[in-house]
C-alpha cells in the first residue's frame, strides 16, 4: 500500500481532484465580483457623485443602476451557492468512494495475511481499524485537495482584493502569517505524537474489551471483575490523559491563531484610517477591505482546522496500514489467481527437508522428508497437542513451510495460486468454523469460487457496477448462484444432487438434517403443499411408531381425552395461539374462558390444585438460592413471587377462603395451569378433575368457535401452525417417561417419511435451517459432521482431515470413517488422528510426535 495518505489519494483520485480544482477555480471570479459589487454600490451609486451610469454600453439612472447592482449581487449569491453545492456533493462522493476502496483494500489484505500472523493480531483490533478508525479518512480524502484549494483560493482572492485596494493594507493583512506558519507546525508535531499514542491505546482498549467478552465465564468463575475493572479504568485514564494533553495543545494553537487574527484590524484602523484621512484611500475601499478581511477569517480558520485534521489523518493512516502489511503477505496474483481451476494433482504429496519455524510453531519438526502417493489413504498418528494441527496446515499448503519444499506433484506449494489450493485440496480440522448462514450454504461453501452461469448476471447490475468499479471493489454479483458443480466432477445438477446425498449419508447427517427440518414452524404459502402432505402422513406415522412400543411412546391428541403429557392450560384450551409469541396461560385468563370456568365451577378445583401445588413449591424452593436457575427450570412459581404466595397461603390458613380476592384466585389458578401429570408426577389432577377439564374444553371450543383468530384448536385434519413439523407428524406428545427413546422414535419417523416419499422434501427444508454464529444453533456433533461434509463435497484431489469427529463416540467415528473411506475409494485421503485405535484402519500410518526429524 502507498506509504503516505497523499500518495494514496493522488494515485487513485488525481483525475477527480483535478476536476474539483477546476470547479473551484471557476467559482473564484464570482467571489471576487461579489466583493466588487458592494464597493461599487457604496462608492459610485450611493456617493451621489453621478446620476448616469454606463454598463455594457447601456445607460442607467441612479435608482436603476442600484437595482441592477443589487440583483447582480443576488445572482452572484445564487451562483456561488450552486457552485458550492456541486463542489460539496462531488467532494463527499469522492471521499465515500475512497473510504469504500480503502476498507475493501484492508479487508482484501486480511484475506491474504499469512496464517501465523493471525496469532499476533486480534479481531478486536482489526475490526475497529476497518470500521471506525477508517471512517474519518473518508471525509478527509474528499477534502484533501479540494478544501485547501477552495479555502486557499478564497483567501488569496480576498487578500488579492485588499492588495488591489492598497498595497500597505494588503501587507498588513498578511503580516502575521509568517510567525503563524513557523509556530503552528512546531506545536502540531507534539500533537501528532500524542495522536499516535491515542490510536494505540484505544486499540489496546478494544482488544481488552473483546477479551472480556470472550472470557466472560472465566471472569465470573474467578471473581476477577474488580481486577478487570481496574485494568479498564487504568486504560481509560491513560486515554483521558492523552486526549486532555491533545486538547490543551490544540486549543492553544487556536488561541494563538485567534489572537494574531485579531491584531490585524488594529493595522487596518491605524494605517487604513490614516490613509483615508490623507485622502490616499477612499472610505468605500476601506469599508470593502474591512468586509474582505471579515471574510478572510473563516477560510483561514478552515485552513488551520484542515491542517490539524490532515496531520491527525496522516498519523492514523500510517498507524492503520502498518497493521495490514505483515511480512510474507500472500502474493496478490497467487491469491486472486487468474486460472479458475488451476493444476490438478494426481501423483504425490511430497516434502523435502521441511522444518517448522520455531518462532511460529509449537511442534519441533526438523528436516522431514516424505512422499505420499495421491490415490492412497494415509493415516498420520500425531501426539495430542498442536502437532496434528500444525502438520495439517502444513500439508494442506495453508501454512507453507519456511524451510524446505512441499510439492503437490511437481508444483512447489509456494508457486501455486490460492484457487488451486482452495479447489483441489480439501481441509477440515477442529478449528474449521461454520458461518452464520444456512446448513446448505455451509455445506456448499467450498464450491463457491466464482459466480456461475445459469442464474442471475455474473456481474453487479449497472448503477452498482459503476460505483464498485470506481471504488476498485469486487464487481461479482453476490446474489447469484456461486455453486459450481463442475469442479466436483459432476456434469449435471442431477448428478451433483446424487453426489451431495452420498456425502450427507456418508457423514450420517441425513437423520440430523431431517431432525432440524422437524423443528421448524411452517407458516408461509410456499409450505402449503408440504403442510398438507404432513397431515396426510399422520396415520402412517402413528401406525409405524405404535409398532415400536405398543402405543406407549406417543400420547396422541384426542379431543375427548385428557392428555397426561400436556399441562392443564394445554388440556383446557387444547390448541396453540396463532401468535407464536403469545402465552397460552394468558389466554386462559381471557374473559370468555374465565366465565366458562366460573359457570362450571372448575375454577374452584383449579384454585384448590393451585393452592396445594403452591404449598409444595414453597416447601421445596424456600431454601433454594433465588439466583439459581432451579426456579426457572423447575418451579411453578418464579423466585420473585415466592413470598407473595407465602403471604397468600398464610392468609388462607388463618382466615380460610372467605376474604379471597379475584387476584388471589388468579395467582393460584396460574400455578395449576402449569402442571402436567406425566412430567411433574403430582397426584393433584384427579381423574374427576381431568374429566371436568375435557368437558370444559368442549364448551370453550363451542364458545370461541374453530374459526376464531386467537387459538387454533387441535384438529386431526388440520396443520397446527403453532407446533413444529415433528409435533404435527406425530400428532401427539412423546410420553415423558419414554423420552430416552426419542432417538429411536425420530429414526422411525424418518424411515416412514422416506417410505412416503417425503424424505427428500423434508431434508431440503432442513438444509435451509440457520446455523447461527459459528454454528451455535447446532449441536457439536452436527457441526463436526457438517464441516467434514463440507470438505468431502469438494471432491478434492488431496483431502486432509484432522480429528474431524472428536465429539462422537469411537463407534460412530469408526462407522463414519468407513463410509468416508468408501466414498474416497481410489482418491487421496490423509487422516490425522491421535487415538491409536484408528491406526489399524489404514494400510499405511505415519507417526509424528511433537519432535520429529528425518524421513
Is-contact 756 517, C-beta < 8 A?
no
737 binds another protein (CB under 8 A): yes
Shortest CA distance to 750 belongs to which of 717, 714, 726, 774? 726
Structure-block grid coordinates of residue 703: 364458545
Interface residue with another protein, options 278, 623, 632, 654 (CB under 8 A): 623
Give 801's strand partners.
Answer: 428, 831
Residue closer to another protein by CB (options 682, 710) is 682
Residue closer to another protein by CB (options 744, 827) is 744
CB of 535: closest distance to another protein in angstroms?
A: 31
Residue closer to another protein by CB (options 20, 553) is 553
Please give the Cα distance from 625 to 614 (Å, whole number).
18
Q: How many CB atoms lie within 10 A of CB 388?
A: 23
Please give the Cα distance from 390 to 412 (Å, whole number).
19
In the region spanning residues 316 to 335, those forming contacts with another protein, defined by CB under 8 A, are: none
Residue closer to another protein by CB (options 316, 746) is 746
Give 354's strand partners.
Answer: 368
In the region spanning residues 655 to 714, those forming contacts with another protein, defined by CB under 8 A, are: 680-683
What sign does the dihedral 306-308-309-315 (CA atoms) show?
positive
In the region spanning residues 396 to 425, those forming contacts with another protein, defined by CB under 8 A, are: none
Interface residue with another protein, options 10, 329, 624, 639 (CB under 8 A): 624
Interface residue with another protein, options 809, 844, 847, 851 (CB under 8 A): 809
Residue closer to another protein by CB (options 303, 741) is 741
841 binds another protein (CB under 8 A): no
Give Cα 516 distance to the centre of its chain.
24
Interface residue with another protein, options 621, 782, 831, 838 (CB under 8 A): 621
Please give the Cα distance from 808 to 799 (Å, whole number).
21
Residue closer to another protein by CB (options 507, 684) is 684
Please give the Cα distance from 115 to 112 (Å, whole number).
9
619 binds another protein (CB under 8 A): yes
State the burial class of residue 222 (Cβ atoms within 10 Å of its Cβ: 0-12, 13-18, 19+): exposed
Query: What is the phi/psi pair of residue 597, to 5°?
Result: -60, -40
CB of 683: closest distance to another protein in angstroms?
A: 5
CB of 742: closest distance to another protein in angstroms?
A: 11
741 binds another protein (CB under 8 A): yes
Please give the Cα distance from 90 to 499 (Å, whole number).
53
73 binds another protein (CB under 8 A): no
For 294, the enclosing helix (H) or strand (E) is helix 283-323
748 binds another protein (CB under 8 A): no
Residue closer to another protein by CB (options 376, 737) is 737
Residue 111's contacts (CB-CB under 8 Å, 6 or more residues apart) are 335
Is-contact 578 721, C-beta < 8 A?
yes
Q: How many residues bind another protein (CB under 8 A)?
A: 23
For the chain, the distance separating the N- and C-terminal CA atoms, rounded to the nearest angstrom, is 42
156 binds another protein (CB under 8 A): no
Cα angle value 485/490/492 (rounded, 5°): 80
Residue 343's contacts (CB-CB under 8 Å, 6 or more residues apart) are 408, 409, 411, 416, 420, 424
CB of 621: closest distance to another protein in angstroms?
A: 7
CB of 508: closest distance to another protein in angstroms?
A: 16
Residue closer to another protein by CB (options 341, 646) is 646
Residue closer to another protein by CB (options 503, 544) is 544
Residue 817's contacts (CB-CB under 8 Å, 6 or more residues apart) are 805, 831, 838, 841
Stretch that binds another protein, among 35-43, 197-205, 427-435, 735-743 (CB under 8 A): 735-743
Stretch that binds another protein, among 70-78, 182-190, 629-637, 794-802 (CB under 8 A): 629-637
Please give the Cα distance from 517 to 497 (Å, whole number).
19
CA distances from 342 to 112, 287, 419, 487 (A): 18, 76, 6, 11
Interface residue with another protein, options 327, 359, 811, 843 (CB under 8 A): 811
Residue closer to another protein by CB (options 503, 566) is 566
Interface residue with another protein, options 77, 634, 695, 835 (CB under 8 A): 634
Interface residue with another protein, options 231, 311, 386, 549 (CB under 8 A): 549
Cα atoms in the Cβ-side hemisphere of radius 13 Å centred on 567: 18
Stretch that binds another protein, among 415-423, 473-481, 556-564, 630-638 (CB under 8 A): 630-638
Stretch that binds another protein, among 171-179, 434-442, 538-546, 626-634 (CB under 8 A): 626-634
Residue closer to another protein by CB (options 549, 558) is 549
Give Cα 352 distance to the centre of its chain.
42
Please give the Cα distance from 852 to 356 (Å, whole number).
11
Residue closer to another protein by CB (options 621, 842) is 621
Stretch that binds another protein, among 107-115, 215-223, 319-327, 737-745 (CB under 8 A): 737-745
Taking each continuous run of H as one helix and of E as one strand, the counts in the chain are 33, 17
CB of 680: closest distance to another protein in angstroms?
A: 7
Residue closer to another protein by CB (options 559, 686) is 686
CB of 686: closest distance to another protein in angstroms?
A: 12
- The widest CA-to-CA distance across the chain, in whole angstroms, is 122
Structure-block grid coordinates of residue 571: 388440556
SS in 3 state form for 90-121? HHHHHHHHHHHHHHHHHHHHHHHCCCCHHHHC
CB of 813: closest distance to another protein in angstroms?
A: 10
620 binds another protein (CB under 8 A): yes
Shortest CA distance to 396 belongs to which of 800, 117, 792? 800
Stretch that binds another protein, among 235-243, 275-283, 353-361, 732-740 (CB under 8 A): 732-740
Q: How many CB atoms lie within 10 A of CB 52?
A: 9
739 binds another protein (CB under 8 A): yes
In the region spanning residues 599 to 618, those forming contacts with another protein, defined by CB under 8 A, are: 616
Stretch that binds another protein, among 48-56, 393-401, 620-628, 645-653 (CB under 8 A): 620-628
Is-contact 481 448, C-beta < 8 A?
no
CB of 330: closest distance to another protein in angstroms?
A: 40
Stretch that binds another protein, among 9-17, 152-160, 272-280, 730-738 (CB under 8 A): 730-738
CB of 631: closest distance to another protein in angstroms?
A: 11
* SS3 call for 123: helix
CB of 815: closest distance to another protein in angstroms?
A: 13
Please give the Cα distance from 521 to 504 (Å, whole number).
23
Residue closer to another protein by CB (options 119, 633) is 633
What is the 8-class DSSP label of residue 734?
A: E
What sign does the dihedral 746-748-749-751 (CA atoms) show?
positive
Residue closer to another protein by CB (options 755, 809) is 809
- The contact set with another protein (CB under 8 A) reads 549, 616, 619-621, 623-624, 630, 633-634, 680-683, 736-741, 809-811
Amino acid at each position: 500500500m502507498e506509504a503516505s495518505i497523499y500518495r494514496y489519494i493522488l494515485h487513485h483520485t488525481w483525475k477527480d481532484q483535478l476536476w474539483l480544482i477546476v470547479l473551484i477555480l471557476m467559482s473564484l471570479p464570482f467571489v471576487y465580483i461579489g466583493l466588487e459589487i458592494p464597493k461599487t454600490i457604496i462608492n459610485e451609486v450611493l456617493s451621489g457623485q453621478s446620476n448616469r451610469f454606463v454598463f455594457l454600453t447601456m445607460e442607467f439612472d441612479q435608482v436603476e443602476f442600484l437595482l441592477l447592482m443589487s440583483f447582480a449581487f443576488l445572482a452572484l449569491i445564487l451562483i456561488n451557492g450552486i457552485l458550492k453545492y456541486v463542489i460539496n456533493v462531488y467532494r463527499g462522493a469522492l471521499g465515500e468512494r475512497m473510504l469504500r476502496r480503502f476498507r475493501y483494500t484492508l479487508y482484501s489484505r486480511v484475506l491474504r495475511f499469512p496464517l501465523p500472523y493471525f496469532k499476533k493480531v486480534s479481531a478486536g483490533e482489526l475490526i475497529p481499524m476497518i470500521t471506525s478508525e477508517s471512517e474519518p479518512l473518508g471525509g478527509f480524502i474528499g477534502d484533501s485537495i479540494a478544501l485547501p484549494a477552495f479555502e486557499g483560493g478564497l483567501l488569496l482572492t480576498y487578500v488579492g482584493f485588499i492588495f488591489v485596494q492598497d498595497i500597505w493594507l494588503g501587507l498588513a493583512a498578511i503580516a502575521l502569517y509568517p510567525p503563524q506558519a513557523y509556530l503552528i507546525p512546531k506545536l502540531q508535531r507534539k500533537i501528532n505524537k500524542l495522536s499516535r499514542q491515542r490510536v494505540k491505546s484505544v486499540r489496546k482498549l478494544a482488544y481488552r474489551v473483546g477479551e472480556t467478552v470472550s472470557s466472560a465465564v472465566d471472569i465470573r468463575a474467578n471473581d476477577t471483575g474488580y481486577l478487570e475493572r481496574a485494568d479498564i479504568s487504568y486504560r481509560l485514564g491513560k486515554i483521558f490523559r492523552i486526549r486532555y494533553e491533545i486538547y490543551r495543545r490544540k486549543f492553544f494553537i487556536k488561541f494563538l491563531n485567534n489572537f494574531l487574527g485579531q491584531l490585524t484590524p488594529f493595522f487596518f484602523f491605524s494605517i487604513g484610517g490614516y490613509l483615508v484621512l490623507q485622502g490616499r484611500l477612499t472610505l468605500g475601499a476601506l469599508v470593502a477591505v474591512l468586509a474582505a478581511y471579515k471574510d478572510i477569517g473563516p477560510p483561514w480558520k478552515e485552513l488551520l482546522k484542515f491542517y490539524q485534521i490532515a496531520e491527525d489523518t496522516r498519523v492514523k493512516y500510517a498507524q492503520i496500514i502498518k497493521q495490514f502489511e505483515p511480512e510474507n503477505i500472500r502474493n496478490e496474483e497467487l491469491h486472486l489467481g487468474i486460472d479458475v481451476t488451476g493444476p490438478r494433482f494426481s501423483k504425490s504429496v511430497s516434502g523435502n527437508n521441511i522444518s517448522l519455524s520455531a518462532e511460529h510453531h509449537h511442534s519441533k519438526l526438523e528436516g522431514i522428508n516424505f512422499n505420499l502417493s495421491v490415490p492412497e489413504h494415509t493415516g498420520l498418528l500425531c501426539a495430542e497437542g498442536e502437532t496434528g494441527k500444525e502438520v495439517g496446515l502444513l500439508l494442506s499448503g495453508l501454512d507453507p513451510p519456511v524451510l524446505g519444499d512441499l510439492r503437490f506433484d511437481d508444483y512447489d506449494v509456494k508457486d501455486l495460486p490460492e484457487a488451486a489450493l482452495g479447489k483441489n485440496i480439501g481441509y477440515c480440522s477442529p478449528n474449521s468454523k461454520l458461518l452464520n448462514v444456512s446448513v446448505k450454504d455451509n455445506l456448499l461453501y467450498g464450491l463457491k469460487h466464482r459466480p456461475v452461469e445459469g442464474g442471475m448476471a455474473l456481474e453487479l447490475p449497472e448503477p452498482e457496477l459503476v460505483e464498485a468499479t470506481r471504488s476498485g471493489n469486487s464487481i461479482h454479483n453476490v446474489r447469484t448462484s456461486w455453486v459450481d458443480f463442475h469442479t466436483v466432477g459432476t456434469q449435471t445438477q442431477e448428478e451433483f444432487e446424487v453426489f451431495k446425498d452420498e456425502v450427507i449419508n456418508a457423514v450420517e447427517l441425513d437423520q440430523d438434517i431431517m431432525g432440524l427440518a422437524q423443528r421448524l414452524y411452517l407458516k408461509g404459502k410456499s409450505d402449503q403443499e408440504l403442510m398438507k402432505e404432513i397431515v396426510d402422513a399422520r396415520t402412517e406415522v402413528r401406525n409405524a411408531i405404535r409398532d415400536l412400543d405398543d402405543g406407549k411412546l406417543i400420547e396422541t391428541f384426542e379431543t375427548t381425552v385428557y392428555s397426561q403429557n400436556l399441562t392443564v392450560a394445554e388440556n383446557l384450551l387444547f390448541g396453540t395461539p396463532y401468535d407464536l409469541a403469545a402465552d397460552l396461560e394468558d389466554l386462559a385468563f381471557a374473559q370468555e374462558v374465565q366465565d366458562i370456568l366460573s359457570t362450571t365451577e372448575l375454577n374452584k378445583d383449579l384454585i384448590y390444585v393451585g393452592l396445594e401445588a403452591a404449598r409444595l413449591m414453597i416447601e421445596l424452593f424456600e431454601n433454594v438460592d433465588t439466583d439459581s436457575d432451579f426456579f426457572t427450570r423447575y418451579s411453578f412459581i418464579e423466585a420473585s413471587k415466592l413470598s407473595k404466595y407465602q403471604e397468600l397461603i398464610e392468609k388462607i390458613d388463618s382466615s380460610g377462603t372467605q376474604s379471597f380476592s379475584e387476584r388471589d384466585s388468579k395467582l393460584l389458578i396460574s400455578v395449576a395451569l402449569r402442571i402436567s401429570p406425566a412430567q411433574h408426577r403430582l397426584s393433584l389432577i384427579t381423574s374427576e378433575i381431568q374429566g371436568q377439564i375435557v368437558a370444559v374444553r368442549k364448551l370453550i371450543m363451542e364458545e370461541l368457535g374453530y374459526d376464531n383468530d386467537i387459538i387454533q384448536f387441535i384438529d386431526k385434519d388440520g396443520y397446527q401452525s403453532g407446533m413444529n413439523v415433528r409435533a404435527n407428524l406425530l400428532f401427539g406428545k412423546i410420553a415423558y417417561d419414554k423420552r430416552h427413546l426419542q432417538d429411536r422414535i425420530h429414526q422411525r419417523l424418518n424411515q416412514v417419511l422416506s417410505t412416503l416419499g417425503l424424505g427428500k422434501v423434508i431434508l431440503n427444508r432442513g438444509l435451509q435451517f440457520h446455523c447461527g454464529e459459528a454454528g451455535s444453533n447446532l449441536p457439536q456433533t452436527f457441526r463436526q459432521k457438517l464441516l467434514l461434509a463440507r470438505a468431502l463435497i469438494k471432491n478434492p484431489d488431496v483431502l486432509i482431515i484432522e480429528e474431524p469427529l472428536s465429539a462422537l463416540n469411537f463407534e460412530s467415528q469408526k462407522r463414519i470413517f468407513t463410509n468416508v473411506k468408501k466414498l474416497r475409494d481410489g482418491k487421496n485421503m490423509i487422516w490425522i488422528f491421535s487415538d491409536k485405535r484408528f491406526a489399524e484402519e489404514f494400510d499405511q500410518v505415519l507417526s509424528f510426535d511433537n519432535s520429529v526429524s528425518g524421513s
